[in-house]
Structure 1
């Protein structure tokens, strides 16, 4: 097992993949998909509809924009440089899954269960992200989530150096959620994140927004 220490407080378990064990395969996400010990590099799979499972698989530089994949089970999977813009991934179970430098503007992502999910350097602006259950940790690092809607169980969901400007939260749970290093300009729904951690500087900057959400009227003088 390989662990990545992101901060003093946060460590994520990485996918268990040995590149020497992977077999090159063409991109094919239409219909029933069963990929094991596969490495896929390149290919246009835009607007496909499919379902299935990926196990110990690496997918790189594939165009999945507009694709609809549901349900989808992923275990020990790496996505790198994918285009998932305006796609739909629903009923997703993700265990030790890593997204690296993916473009996913307008993505509709529904996670039934997320266990050690790590998204690094991804563009998720205008997306909709719903999480039913977190086991372990979910980490967004250096991601853009501008105007993104994020709902559900946000327990142990960590945002490191992310842009959450104009994002909207509706959290059912948020114990262990951490937003301390992220941008919160005009971020809405923070009052639903009971148990989440923010910095003192952030608390001062979002005080008026929190007061408004609580039904208070803020007036000077």
Structure 2
């Protein structure tokens, strides 16, 4: 079992190079039986990538570039997504278990109703992404990700770790964030501070939050 630790989160990640595991190259992730297992798929330029009511189990997706991405009730278990460009993906409903998404672009993506358990987003570009009703059912970390103007709404991100992320104008809307670990990030431009009760920060980040609050409330600071 392979684990990686970020702050307070220890995540069990897939070990796709373990002895005895053989991944078969597949030309498509669409399967009439609704499941693809022990697979590798990649180095593909696609006009569209659409999957519905599908399970991807134990596999690697690498170097996939798709202009249009639509996922509906897509479940992943033991899967890596690496070096891909999924653009403004629309992903509605599904569960991700032991999943790593690394060096991947999800610019303007919409993630709605996903359940995350042992999930790592690493060095991903998630600018302008919208997370709605996303729930962390187990350890989850965003490590080295860019989340410029990303929005979280009605999410349960309790105990989720944000490590060395860009959180410029990132907005946390109504939701549950108790125990979320924001240590080691620049928090000076966060939005939605009123919803971040009982998160974890470093002592030096108090000034960041004060600056963010002044900006969010458009408070005028001066001697006049």
Instruction: Normalising by structure 1, report the TM-score.
Output: 0.89
Any idea what the Cα deviations from partners look like across 1:82-102, whole Å, max 9, x if unmatched? Answer: 111111111021011001100
> How far off is 1:171 after superposition?
4.2
Counterpart of 1:192 in structure 2 is 195
Gaps of 5+ in 1: none
Q: Pick 1 or 2: higher relative contact order, CA cutoff 8 A, min separation 6.
A: 2
Residue 54 of structure 1, aligned match among 43, 50, 56 = 56
Counterpart of 1:145 in structure 2 is 147
SS for the counterpart of 1:21 is coil
CA distance in 2, matches of 1:40, 1:128: 26
Indicate the RMSD between aligned Cα atoms, in angstroms: 2.2
Counterpart of 1:6 in structure 2 is 6
SS for the counterpart of 2:68 is coil
> How far off is 1:30 after superposition?
8.6
CA distance in 2, matches of 1:28, 1:144: 28
Structure with more strand by fraction: 2
Contact map agreement 1:27 1:42 (CA 8 A) in 2: no
Gaps of 5+ in 2: none
- Within a 5 Å distance, the mapping from 1:12-27 to structure 2 comes to 12-18=11-17, 20-27=21-28
CA distance in 1, matches of 2:10, 2:83: 23
Tell me the number of residue pairs that the alignment of Structure 1 and Structure 2 aligns. Answer: 219
CA distance in 1, matches of 2:211, 2:220: 7
Residue 135 of structure 1, aligned match among 137, 147, 170 = 137
Instruction: Go from structure 1 to structure 2 and tell me whether the alpha carbon gap of 1:54 and 1:81 turns closer, same or farther (over 3 Å shift).
Output: same
Contact map agreement 1:137 1:156 (CA 8 A) in 2: yes
**Which stretch has the larger CA shift, 159-168 or 58-67?**
58-67
Residue 181 of structure 1, aligned match among 177, 180, 184 = 184
- Within a 5 Å distance, the mapping from 1:149-164 to structure 2 comes to 149-151=151-153, 152-164=155-167
